Amino acid sequence: MKNTQESPQVGSIRRFYEQAFRLYDKTGRIPPVSIEIYPYSSINHTIRVRGGCAFVRISDICVDMELEGQRALAFILVAKLYRKRAARVHHETYNACLKAPVIQSRVTTAKKIRGRKTPLLPDGDIYDLDEVFEDVNIKYFSNSIRRPNLSWSMRKTFRVLGHHDATQNKIVISRSLDTPETPRFIVEYVMFHEMLHIKHPTITINGRRYNHTSAFRFDEERFPFYRAAEKWIENNVLRLRRAAKKK
């Protein structure tokens, strides 16, 4: 569940992101900034721009981090957004603030409480699963699917490229697909498939469970790039298998 309560520092934190945008966006445009405190299982923060607005997720572990650390983090994340590296002083300041006893205590607690579950790490090296989910939800589900927990798999796999866990309300996508060689429509297709499991839950008939009902298959084939996606997966299975078996 998301933590929707704003900390007393959120107003100041928002201004830090506005300052960072002034520095890195040469057009002078400063998007509205939304700050969300999110219960990641580790120190993880994300930033993305959608519809002209900047959405920032800060781990609740760092909710009360010193303001100088929050400012440094703002410049680091916005620099990343523009594919630049923030000044060294920002990285040094942020890392120093992470060493505060209260932060380290929360890291330990988070690992104990949340570490037993698959970490919520939707932000990959190439693709952000939050963005992929939202795009697929809008384009193919009229934005009707409630966002589950999204995560890349811990390891690269080739047999199972996606998995929906109804019990833990999560979708896990194989890390094998988080590569420059994987077209975006493939990640969208796998996400689409797993979201169909939410739209068409498993049914039991005469003691037998059916995960892929006729309605599920009908909707699946309505994906615009269904055949192209299936063909790509078939043609790349050996490459995915080799990558998965690399140490």
Same domain, 104 and 146: no
**Selected residue with higher pLDDT from 116 and 173:** 173
Same domain, 93 and 173: no
CA 214 from chain centre, in angstroms, equals 30
Query: What pLDDT does residue 31 have?
Result: 93
Query: What pLDDT does residue 16 have?
Result: 95
Same domain, 108 and 46: yes
Q: Which residues pair with 37 in a beta bridge?
A: 3, 58
Query: What pLDDT does residue 114 have?
Result: 62
Assess if residue 123 is contained within a domain. no
What's the CATH number where 57 sits?
3.30.2010
The answer to whether 194 touches 162, Cβ cutoff 8 Å, is yes
Assess if residue 2 is contained within a domain. no
Nearest to 45 by CA among 75, 85, 82: 75
Q: Which residues pair with 50 in a beta bridge?
A: 53
Same domain, 17 and 57: yes
Query: What pLDDT does residue 8 have?
Result: 56
Domain of residue 230, residue span: 129-245
- pLDDT tens digits for range 134-179: 999 999 999 999 999 999 998 898 889 999 988 788 999 999 999 9
- pLDDT tens digits for range 187-219: 999 999 999 999 999 888 877 778 899 999 999
Assess if residue 121 is contained within a domain. no
Assess if residue 139 is contained within a domain. yes
Number of domains in the chain: 2
Query: What pLDDT does residue 118 have?
Result: 46
Cα distance between residue 239 and residue 165, in whole Å: 27
The answer to whether 13 touches 28, Cβ cutoff 8 Å, is no
Nearest to 172 by CA among 200, 191, 153: 153
Report helix, strand or coil for 122: coil
Same domain, 45 and 99: yes
Q: How confident is the model at residue 51 (pLDDT cuts 50, 70, 90)?
A: confident
Average of per-residue pLDDT values in the chain: 87
